[in-house]
Structure 1
Amino acid sequence: MIRGSLSSKLFAASLFAAAPALAQAQDGLPEPVRDMIDAAIAIGEEEKVRTVIELARATNPDAGAELDGILAAYETDLAAANAELEAVERQAIRNAGLFENWSGRGELGASHATGNAENTGITAGLQLVREGIDWRHKLRARIDYQEANGLTTREQILVSYEPNFRISDRIFAYGLAQYERDRFQGFSGRYAVSGGLGYQVIDADDLSLSFKAGPAYRVTQFVDGGSESSLAGLVGLDFNWNITDSLKLTQDTNAVAEAGGSAVAIVDANNTSLNIVTGLNAQISDNLTTRLSYAIEYDSNPPEGAVKTDTLSRITIIYDF
């Protein structure tokens, strides 16, 4: 993106321009060694520069002080170039239009069986994320549908929007608007809105964990025509663990962050709803991933004729874009 297109220009202009003067000032280094360091700096890749300087140090042990000076000057210019690049990127983010800087993933899985019983099932999902300087926006949609012998046996729809605002490195504020539909659990529509605070407990390259909590308001429309509304409380957990470069474990609850590892429970005086989804993602290529997941959906007070707990196993293909 921006970093890839600007890095070579910035490093070539600022670092390479300063390199010859730095090298020429060090008379103790042989000319071929200075040329090698200049060439590494001109390429603009930090790892190569450090490798070349370390090789020069090993072959010219008496020039340690000179190489320390070259490395210190390089690091100073590198920090200045990175700061300039970051400022350009931040300004580009601030100036981005409403439909820019979005990334996402699409998920699709299907099954069909014939013989003693004929079953057809499909699951599809879409997640869009827009990362800003302080704001992050998440849009999610999912549908699960299944037929058995020509009769619909599952029809679930979920759509949610969740904006997050970074207050500090660890603390953030969140909002949530969510719509659900599941005739077989007894409701034709369930709407929930919530807002509150969250805390980032762990934010590492291979492991992340955060909590959030706040009040919520929920309206449920039942398939028999009745409806109810109530104040509720939301407690959430987001968790992701990259076990290896190609294997990732996610823990989701209430499908509020289905594609990313989270746990959310909405509790009110009439009904507590909980949706726990445990998933294992295996990367196939840069853009393709397979996902195996197991979901448990629980309502403490379902409508008459509906059971409290449903389970669902999925295997899907995910495409990142």
Structure 2
Amino acid sequence: MSPRARTHPALQALAIAVALSGTAAAQEAQLPGILTELLEAANEQGRTEFTRAVQLIALTRPADEIVRAAEGLGRGDAARQALGLEPPQLPDDAAIAAVEEIAEEDDAAGYTNGIVGTVAAVPVGVARTFASGRLELWQGRASLGVRFDSGNTAREDYTFGLQVRRELSGWGFQGHIDYAYSEVNGTIGRDNFRTRLRGEREAGERFTYFAAADYERDRIASYDWTAFAGVGGGYRVLTSPGRTWILRAGPGVRILGEPGHGTQTVGALDVGSDLAWRLTESINFTSETGLLVADTSRFDQLFGLNSALNDLWSLRLQYRYRYEFEPNPGFVRGDSRTDISIVREF
């Protein structure tokens, strides 16, 4: 019996199993028509709006209904990712066809079984995933750019940024890393690092609760480093496609590292606002406002404008203004920063 003859029965059995599972799914409850239309409209507006629509519908409908509706649009994996579900274990028809094609190539090359072909299909799938810019369960962006400062210093630096998001069993996780570095005549002129983490969970149609942490090191700012950790609640003011706005507030602790004076720890109230607005099909505006109310209060305002070049690449213009109410002697209260960067979505 040829290798091909031994390989195909297993593939045929796998294809039959997939077909049977699809038939059973069709007999289960379907997503209501109006919600299916909402999902279709969000899909036409892009990945971000599709993800938001899936998460909004999940407040009232079971995940399996949403996934089935998304599969009808060819976005089943994207829906599972938005819901924090693991990808399906069985391959789809395209994967079966790819394995069959490789098995036929194995026969022509004289291999004694189809195992080599099956294993060879794995790195091909991984490479295709990276090339398409879609990683299972994770979303985010990486950026490279130039930074212009004014206030406590006037200088230009190169920057690197990374943002990641993932859904974890009902919890949404966001992580941000920003780094800027430069040298002047062999001397380090800038070595600025900041990371922000937040886990957030829905608590109804509009309310959320969260835990957050923020750490920043900047040797030429008023403090060597600052950190904050806290918990709180949020309220979604706007939830429409293309326009979202959430208000957050919660208590926490602010820690400051002062040059030559050790650290200072104070209680603080964190109040924030996050606005995202799709201006056109290719241009998005964001506004992040934060106020730490404490003995050493701080205000942050961050504006961002993204212009998409294609599905994966975009240009970003970002402006940040920071105001320290109680800076150390020799430092001004206000500090501004402008970033221009090229961004790669994944």
1:50-199 equivalence runs, <5 A: 82=65, 85=68, 93-95=84-86, 101-110=137-146, 121-199=157-235
Q: 1:268 aligns with which of 280, 283, 294?
A: 294
Shift of 1:302: 1.1
Show CA shifts across 1:142-170 (max 9, x none).
01234445544433211121000111120
1:212-227 equivalence runs, <5 A: 212-227=248-263
Q: Secondary structure of 2:330's partner?
A: coil
User: In 1, Cα distance between the equivalents of 2:267 and 2:337?
Assistant: 29
Letter matched to residue 310 of structure 2: S
Q: 1:314 aligns with which of 318, 334, 339?
A: 339
CA contact (8 A) 2:147 2:159 kept: no
Shift of 1:95: 4.9
CA contact (8 A) 2:304 2:319 kept: yes
- The alpha-carbon distance between structure 1 residues 163 and 11, as it changes in their structure 2 partners (threshold 3 A), is same
Show CA shifts across 1:264-294 (max 9, x none).
111102x111221212110001000101122
Q: Secondary structure of 2:241's partner?
A: coil
- The alpha-carbon distance between structure 1 residues 315 and 235, as it changes in their structure 2 partners (threshold 3 A), is same
Relative contact order: is structure 1 or structure 2 higher (C-alpha 8 Å, sep ≥ 6)? 2
What root-mean-square deviation, in Å, do the aligned CA atoms of Structure 1 and Structure 2 show? 3.5
Q: How many residues align?
A: 235
User: In 2, Cα distance between the equivalents of 1:179 and 1:169?
Assistant: 31
Shift of 1:120: 5.8
1:194-205 equivalence runs, <5 A: 194-205=230-241
CA contact (8 A) 2:142 2:163 kept: yes
Q: Secondary structure of 1:301's partner?
A: coil
Sequence identity percentage: 27
> Unaligned 5+ residue runs, structure 2?
1-17, 28-39, 42-63, 71-75, 88-134, 149-154
CA contact (8 A) 1:185 1:303 kept: no
Shift of 1:187: 2.2
Show CA shifts across 1:32-91 (max 9, x none).
xxxxxxxxxxxxxx89xxxxxxxxxxxxxxxxxxxxxxxxxxxxxxxxx94572699669
- The alpha-carbon distance between structure 1 residues 111 and 264, as it changes in their structure 2 partners (threshold 3 A), is closer
User: In 2, Cα distance between the equivalents of 1:126 and 1:103?
Assistant: 11
Scaled by the length of structure 2, the TM-score of the pair is: 0.60
2:307 paired residue number: 282
Shift of 1:133: 4.9
- The alpha-carbon distance between structure 1 residues 182 and 9, as it changes in their structure 2 partners (threshold 3 A), is farther
2:104 paired residue number: none
2:46 paired residue number: none
Shift of 1:15: 11
Q: State which structure, 1 or 2, has the greater radius of gyration over its C-alpha atoms.
A: 1
CA contact (8 A) 1:279 1:294 kept: yes
Scaled by the length of structure 1, the TM-score of the pair is: 0.64
Q: 1:208 aligns with which of 244, 248, 258?
A: 244
User: In 1, Cα distance between the equivalents of 2:84 and 2:309?
Assistant: 31
User: In 2, Cα distance between the equivalents of 1:234 and 1:110?
Assistant: 29
2:282 paired residue number: 246
- 1:298 paired to 2:323: yes
CA contact (8 A) 1:287 1:319 kept: yes
